[in-house]
Amino acid sequence: MAFRPHPARAPSVLLREAKPLKAIFGHAKRLAHLQRLLESQLQPAAREHCHVASWREGSLLLIVTDGHWATRLRYQQKRLQRQLQAFDEFASLTRILFKVQPPTVLAKVAGHTLDLSVNAAQTIQATADGISDPALRAALERLASHAKPKPQ
């Protein structure tokens, strides 16, 4: 007796029908809605640094990217709480908690990048050809290999 897998279903169908996924999807939609409401009351510069983590029993937990933004938001906490309480979703809001959590994805470090022209690479390679020290020659050849090819 051969095993026949069930036919594939679209992810949207799975999210609507599978109970555990349906609950997770519903919670994610609710948090996204609360995030939009929060962002409508934040300064534009603060929006990318503040995210809704949870909302339960009158407490709103916000994740902030660094201490600087957490401090700025704490100074505005009373105003923000009053503005959010105007929304039906936050009518029972009694306190706002801030938790600092740096982003887990590291931004690309803006370090020095090596942009080497083909002409410079040829000059370095020619210099490497005249060097008798094998370590220095290998280093120069590695450096010459970083040249950007000419666009065709």
The tens digit of pLDDT for each residue in 88-103 reads 999 999 999 999 998 8
The pLDDT value recorded for residue 114 is 62
For residue 3, what pLDDT band results from cuts at 50, 70 and 90? confident
Kindly list the structural domains of the chain, giving each domain's residue range(s) and its CATH number in brackets, ordered by start: 11-100 (3.30.300.180), 113-151 (no CATH)
HEC profile of the chain: CCCCCCCCCCHHHHHHHCHHHHHHHHHHHHHHHHHHHHHHHCCHHHHHHEEEEEEECCEEEEEECCHHHHHHHHHCHHHHHHHHHCCHHHCCCCEEEEEECCCCCCCCCCCCCCCECHHHHHHHHHHHHCCCCHHHHHHHHHHHCCECCCCC
Work out the average pLDDT over 3-10: 81
For residue 44, what pLDDT band results from cuts at 50, 70 and 90? very high
Work out the average pLDDT over 3-19: 77
